[in-house]
Chain A
Amino acid sequence: MSVREWLAVAMFASFILGILTGFPVAWILGGIAILFTAIAVIVERDFGFYTGVDWSYASLVGDRIWDLMDNWVLVALPMFVCMGLLLDRAGIAADLMRDVSRLFGRMRGGLAVTVALIGVVLAASTGIIGASVVLLALLGLPPMLEARYAPTYAAGTVCAVGTLGILIPPSIMLVLMADRLAMSVGDLFLGAVIPGLLLAALYILFLIALPAFRPEIAPAPEEAEPVDLSLILSVFRDIVPAAALILAVLGSIFFGIATPTEASGVGAFGALLLAAWRKRLGRSVLQDVLRETSLTTGYLFGIFVGASAFALVLRGLGGDELIARGLMGLPFGPSGVVLSILFVTFLLGFFLDWIEITFIVLPLVAPVVVELGFDLVWFTVLFAVCLQTSFLTPPVGFALFYVKGVAPPEIDVRTLYIGILPFVGLQLIGLALIFMWPELATWLPAQAYGTP
């Protein structure tokens, strides 16, 4: 390895150490880029080693940020954030929890299944794990614990289901991945639909099956009200407008009628109407939602700006060739290379958020995978599932931290870890299924566009 490649490795290591200080990730990324530019300049001037990075190279960061500004695809990002916030403020999740749990009232584990179903609906509306995990924990944990469900079972459900949001379209993570890899957002959304629903189905099967074998985990409800027509009607009334909105947004993208940007804007408009129709949209709520859209978009793009500077300097130091050569040199064959990438991504997910991994790591590894002859949609979906799994996994699963932060005191860290284990198993099964049958990810995009 040359000196500049050692610098690239040191740069990545410094970044991981840097974020552990708890200083904002966006500034750490940008600051490390500047620090290593300075080091590269000194190494080249005073020690005579070629580094390829100097101050005029680093000042290309202005153009990189302009590329983010002049980007019509990423306009969809704040619009999806805004749509998710509006659906959240419209109180749909709370109403669903009330009515759907009555629908499943007589079933063992019915509340957990309810949380899973709401998670899928929420997943389609937000795509920010923090938000959906917290919302599910606040809505779902108290009734489950009150019904004397095992705390491990209840907590595991909330964590796992909440992370589905970053996978099930429209997910802002998938929008960013598609943008960074210059692929079609529609293709990637389509590719993630079956894997996302597959994981949701695995969860629900598990949630139903476990209490059947171990009844003490979820006692049968003592006084369940009968399911009557009015209950079914009210469930429909809760679910239909939101579901129709989400399906319309996705459908218009899938059938190529609208671009993701158009669909996201119209989706946000629909959510606005829905919130107004449910009389939840006062001026102060609207101002609050818009402001929150700014701040959520702000922290995403803060990291984008920092990561732009970081990726620029890392590339200047030859980081991309280093990764490509390292991956190609692995003695495992093509599938082994993909598995190695996924494993490392899984480990990185312990420390880094999806934003940095998508912005910095994914563009480095994706070309290698394409060169090996794999389908890019398939790989990106695997990458996404892998990231989602790592958010569930101790020691540093982000979803676990979120739930811990809002859960009642009887949910301690141990309970969370035990509760999450079976779901990590299900995730790995899902990952293996997608790995073995790439059609799970590639079939739907091929159908929509008629390409073989």
Chain B
Amino acid sequence: MRLPKVRMTNDGVSTGPPVPDPPSRIERVLDRVGTLVSWVWLLLIAVIVLAVVLRFVFGIGRIELEELQWHLYAIGFLAGIVGCAVHDRHVRVDVLRERMSPRLRDWVDLYGILLFQIPLVVLVLVSAVPIVIESFATGEESSSAGGLPYRWILKAVLPIAFIGVGAASVTRLREVGTRLFGAEAAKSRSVRE
């Protein structure tokens, strides 16, 4: 597993990594959106506290607040999946990778993205888009009384997130490709020959 990055802060030790600016423009956009979306967690805390106060203090149970909670959570975790793709934070088993040359790592990433990551993105898109279309066409709403309407909006977040993952993987592919086949790589190869 990947080591959590560690830094010292003024307040002592923190296991959070300093999140560096990602290099490409697409990634910077995705990153900015992700940072903005991360405020849903604060909103989620507020909604839960509100629901708890209403229930325990006033004896009111609001189904829409409960549904809002998992709506926010779903948006948050999908944004997190995109964020991890942008910042290369998805869990890797580093046991052998630690001993690989940077070039071999690039080859692994090249084939991994082409054979595993992009097919998964395609499968998720192919299976999620019809779900959104059907939900929109039937005007699907929550099945519980007082639940939230327009369920297709939430369902659409899944394909949108995976378009983000796809974009991040293409950018990464280009990066790895440049290192493996680009002018620099060709030059260093010719020097060796």
Q: Which residues of A contact B (CB under 8 A)?
A: 18-28, 30-35, 58-63, 65-66, 68-72, 74-75, 78-79, 82, 85, 88-89, 91, 93-94, 130-131, 134-135, 138-139, 258, 261-262, 264-266, 268-269, 272, 280, 286-303, 305-306, 309, 351, 353, 355, 396, 398, 401-402, 405-406
Known: A78-B80, A294-B41. 12 other contacts (CB 8 A): A19-B93, A34-B120, A69-B74, A69-B77, A89-B14, A94-B13, A131-B15, A269-B49, A287-B38, A294-B34, A299-B90, A303-B90
The chain B residue with its CB closest to the CB of A129 is B1
Q: Which residues of A contact B77 (CB under 8 A)?
A: 68-69, 78, 297-298, 300-301
Whether A85 contacts B49 by the Cβ 8 Å rule is no
Q: Which residues of B contact A293 (CB under 8 A)?
A: 38, 41, 76, 80
**Given contacts A71-B70, A298-B82, A35 and B115 within 8 Å (CB-CB):** yes
Q: Is residue B171 within 8 Å, beta carbon to beta carbon, of the partner chain?
A: no
A sample of 5 cross-chain residue pairs with beta-carbon separation below 8 angstroms, ordered by A number, consists of A24-B117, A60-B127, A75-B73, A264-B48, A295-B83
Contact for B127 among A62, A70, A301, CB less than 8 A: A62
Whether A302 contacts B90 by the Cβ 8 Å rule is yes
Q: How far is the CA of A258 from the CA of B131 in the complex (A)?
A: 33
Q: How far is the CA of A166 from the CA of B153 in the complex (A)?
A: 35
Best-buried of A62, A93, A94, A298 by chain B (most CB within 10 Å): A298
1/0 per position for B160-181, CB-CB distance to A under 8 A? 0000000000000000000000
**Given contacts A63-B131, A291-B19, A309-B120, A23 and B38 within 8 Å (CB-CB):** no
The smallest C-beta distance from A52 to any residue of chain B, in angstroms, reads: 18
Best-buried of B47, B48, B105, B126 by chain A (most CB within 10 Å): B48
Q: Is residue B24 within 8 Å, beta carbon to beta carbon, of the partner chain?
A: no
Complex interface residues of chain B between 1 and 17 (CB less than 8 A to chain A): 1, 3-4, 6, 11-16
Whether A31 contacts B4 by the Cβ 8 Å rule is no
The smallest C-beta distance from A438 to any residue of chain B, in angstroms, reads: 32
Whether B4 contacts A25 by the Cβ 8 Å rule is no
Whether B123 contacts A30 by the Cβ 8 Å rule is yes
The smallest C-beta distance from B96 to any residue of chain A, in angstroms, reads: 5
Q: Which residues of B contact A402 (CB under 8 A)?
A: 1, 3-4
The smallest C-beta distance from B178 to any residue of chain A, in angstroms, reads: 19
The smallest C-beta distance from A431 to any residue of chain B, in angstroms, reads: 23
Instruction: Tell me the dominant secondary structure on chain A's binding face.
Output: helix
Contact for A23 among B4, B74, B116, B130, CB less than 8 A: B116
Q: How far is the CA of A25 from the CA of B93 in the complex (A)?
A: 7
Instruction: Tell me the dominant secondary structure on chain B's binding face.
Output: helix
Whether A23 contacts B120 by the Cβ 8 Å rule is no
Q: How far is the CA of A372 from the CA of B117 in the complex (A)?
A: 40
The smallest C-beta distance from B44 to any residue of chain A, in angstroms, reads: 7
Whether A134 contacts B120 by the Cβ 8 Å rule is no
Chain B residues bordering chain A, tally (CB within 8 A): 72
Q: Which residues of B contact A74 (CB under 8 A)?
A: 73
Q: How far is the CA of A70 from the CA of B155 in the complex (A)?
A: 10
Whether B69 contacts A88 by the Cβ 8 Å rule is no
Q: How far is the CA of A266 from the CA of B120 in the complex (A)?
A: 36
Q: Which residues of B contact A65 (CB under 8 A)?
A: 124, 128, 158
Q: Which residues of B contact A94 (CB under 8 A)?
A: 11-13
The chain B residue with its CB closest to the CB of A395 is B95
The smallest C-beta distance from B68 to any residue of chain A, in angstroms, reads: 10
1/0 per position for B87-117, CB-CB distance to A under 8 A? 1011111111100100001001100110111
Whether A299 contacts B89 by the Cβ 8 Å rule is yes
Whether B154 contacts A69 by the Cβ 8 Å rule is yes
**Given contacts A22-B108, A34-B119, A89 and B11 within 8 Å (CB-CB):** yes
The smallest C-beta distance from A425 to any residue of chain B, in angstroms, reads: 24
The smallest C-beta distance from A167 to any residue of chain B, in angstroms, reads: 18
The smallest C-beta distance from A16 to any residue of chain B, in angstroms, reads: 10
The chain B residue with its CB closest to the CB of A37 is B123
The smallest C-beta distance from A23 to any residue of chain B, in angstroms, reads: 4
Q: How far is the CA of A361 from the CA of B70 in the complex (A)?
A: 26
Whether A61 contacts B123 by the Cβ 8 Å rule is yes
Q: Which residues of B contact A35 (CB under 8 A)?
A: 115-116, 119
**Given contacts A27-B116, A306-B120, A130 and B94 within 8 Å (CB-CB):** no
The smallest C-beta distance from A149 to any residue of chain B, in angstroms, reads: 20
Q: How far is the CA of A82 from the CA of B45 in the complex (A)?
A: 10
Q: How far is the CA of A264 from the CA of B76 in the complex (A)?
A: 16
Whether A72 contacts B120 by the Cβ 8 Å rule is no
Q: How far is the CA of A13 from the CA of B49 in the complex (A)?
A: 45
Q: Is residue B42 within 8 Å, beta carbon to beta carbon, of the partner chain?
A: yes
Whether A262 contacts B15 by the Cβ 8 Å rule is no
Whether B35 contacts A291 by the Cβ 8 Å rule is yes
The chain A residue with its CB closest to the CB of B69 is A75
Q: Which 8 A-B pairs have the closest CB atoms?
A: A31-B116, A298-B80, A265-B48, A22-B97, A62-B127, A30-B120, A23-B112, A24-B90
The smallest C-beta distance from B103 to any residue of chain A, in angstroms, reads: 14
Q: How far is the CA of A23 from the CA of B105 in the complex (A)?
A: 9
Q: Which residues of B contact A21 (CB under 8 A)?
A: 96-97, 108, 112
Whether A269 contacts B15 by the Cβ 8 Å rule is no
The smallest C-beta distance from B165 to any residue of chain A, in angstroms, reads: 9
Contact for B69 among A20, A72, A297, CB less than 8 A: A72
The smallest C-beta distance from B140 to any residue of chain A, in angstroms, reads: 12
The chain A residue with its CB closest to the CB of B88 is A24
Q: Which residues of A contact B4 (CB under 8 A)?
A: 130-131, 134, 402
Q: Which residues of A contact B117 (CB under 8 A)?
A: 24, 27, 30-31
Q: Which residues of A contact B82 (CB under 8 A)?
A: 298
Q: Is residue B79 within 8 Å, beta carbon to beta carbon, of the partner chain?
A: yes
Q: Which residues of B contact A131 (CB under 8 A)?
A: 4, 15
Q: Which residues of A contact B45 (CB under 8 A)?
A: 79, 82, 265, 268-269, 272
Whether A24 contacts B74 by the Cβ 8 Å rule is no
**Given contacts A20-B95, A91-B12, A78 and B84 within 8 Å (CB-CB):** no
